[in-house]
Amino acid sequence: MPEEVISIEVSFGVNAGKVWQALNKLGVATPLMIRNETKLSTDEVYGGLGWLAREGKLAQTKDGKLTKFKLME
């Protein structure tokens, strides 16, 4: 059976939706927290974060050395 091919736009969009849902639930979260909540890979989490950032839906904060993300209000 051939491997299913999904467009990059669909894949990143789906992952962005999962990241959005995780941030909506968690409020403020590190990429690791998002990964644990969504079960996405690290690359998929960062892809979703990038998508949301490009859409202007994401804010980044620093807590010491930790980078955290939250949805824009």
Task: Name the residue ranges covered by the structural domains of the chain.
Answer: 8-71
pTM of the model: 0.88
Q: What does the pLDDT look like over 46-55, one tens digit per residue?
A: 999 999 999 9
Cα diameter, the chain: 49
DSSP class of 3: P
Fold category of 8-71 in CATH? Arc Repressor Mutant, subunit A (1.10.10)
List Cβ<8 Å contacts ≥24 apart for 46-49.
47/11, 47/12, 47/15, 47/16, 48/12, 48/15, 48/16, 48/17, 48/18, 48/19, 48/20, 49/19
Q: What does the pLDDT look like over 5-19, one tens digit per residue?
A: 778 888 889 999 999
What are the tokens at 10?
């669909």
